[in-house]
Structure 1
Amino acid sequence: MTETTPYDADRARFTREGLARLVLCDEAVDVADSAGGLVATGNDPDCGPGGRVSQALQLVELAERALASAVVYERERGSSWAEIAQYLGTGAAEAEARFSAHLTEWDTAFTVPYRLDETGRKRLPRLPPAAYDPEDARTFLDRWALLRRIGIDDRQAVSRGLRMATPEEGTPPATS
């Protein structure tokens, strides 16, 4: 039985590399927005003891997710484990061991698009939101970058560099 998602046609316009890049962009936005929350000092009196440590820890967790997304993107664009490991300061085998679960999860999401929630009643998409609905993500990310003047006045600072699929190489349809 073939299981479809509402965004299969939109997703087919992107390569897996392009989808992985959108996910990385989306994760980077989360990191940037979280880091921004640590900049202003005006609300410090309202923050309980240890509160800023909590915010900083959340930032580290978001950065770890962005790192995992960067590894998935690099693998999708053809980077070897040795090339990735060079930037992690580890060996190729260690890098692969550290991130292989993320890659397995990414690969699985293209063949089994949904998983059940903890109640077993609700289907949840396996793909990260930016890859599940790439057109919405692309629009949001281009607007986010424009408002923060990333790429100065480039209205397509994110979408301009994405690798789109040719008709022969579109992302495979979801099946289960």
Structure 2
Amino acid sequence: MEQTTPYDDDRAAYTRHALARLVLADHATDVADAAAGLVGTRNDADTGPGGRAGQARQLVELAEQVLASAVVHEVERGSSWAEIGHYLGIGANEARERFAPALKGWDTAFEEPYRLDTTGRKRIPQLPTAAYDPASACRRLDLWAFLHLTGVNDRNAVSAALLTTDGGPDA
């Protein structure tokens, strides 16, 4: 698929490591937001029997997605499987096998950032949204961090340290 997208230049400005870090940050906000939904008690009566357990299950699924994103980020930044496995409490081979599908999907998405739908007319991104459209992700995640991270008075808390393809941090 040779056609370009409006996001190609934005994506090309960042290293794969930076894009993986953006995806990790994006997935982490999903977990934080889902966990926050379990804090308040006022709407418990509106939740059917077992509903909070369902929310907690969804939180675990989101956390698994964060873990896979963190591993992709660690591989992109050059961590070895032994280092990753050490922090996960498993062996290097087990870590490599467990996260092989996530890494394969990540690598494949860079080869083909989108596919066409069944009609052949609509592009469907294969990269996670934060990596596919990093400019928008940086704006959204910087705002999220500014609003949610207590004591962090930095309007570029996410984007400021991302490595760009010109070798410097995104300023």
Common fold: TM-score over 0.5: yes
Does 2:103 correspond to 1:103? Answer: yes
One-letter amino acid of the counterpart of residue 16, structure 2 = R
Deviations 1:39-88 (A, max 9, x none): 00000111111000000000000000010000000000000000000111
Q: C-alpha distance in 1, partners of 2:90/2:127?
A: 28
Which structure's relative contact order is higher, taking Cα pairs within 8 Å and 6+ residues apart?
1
Distance 2:128 2:58 in 1: 19
- Equivalences, count: 166
Structure-1 residue corresponding to 2:10: 10
Match of 1:133 in 2: 133
Instruction: Look up the equivalent residue of 2:70 and give its one-letter code.
Output: A
Q: CA deviation at 1:151?
A: 5.5
Question: Structure 1 residue 111: deviation in Å?
Answer: 1.1
Cross-structure match for 2:83: 83
Unmatched tracts of structure 1, length 5 or more: 168-176
Specify every segment of 5 or more residues in structure 2 that has no aligned partner in the other structure, as ranges: none
| Residue of structure 2 in register with 1:63 after alignment | 63
Q: Output the TM-score relative to the length of structure 1.
A: 0.89
Residue 145 (structure 1) aligns with: 145
Distance in 1, Cα, partners of 2:134 & 2:21: 10
Cα distance in 2 between the residues matched to 1:128 and 1:78: 20
Shift of 1:150: 4.7
Counterpart-to-counterpart distance in 2, 1:79 and 1:108: 20
Are the equivalent residues in 2 in contact too, given 1:151–1:157 (CA < 8 A)? no
Q: Report if aligned partners of 1:81, 1:96 keep a CA contact under 8 Å in 2.
A: yes
Deviation per residue, 1:113-154 (Å, 9 max, x gap): 22344x454431100000000000000000000011355211
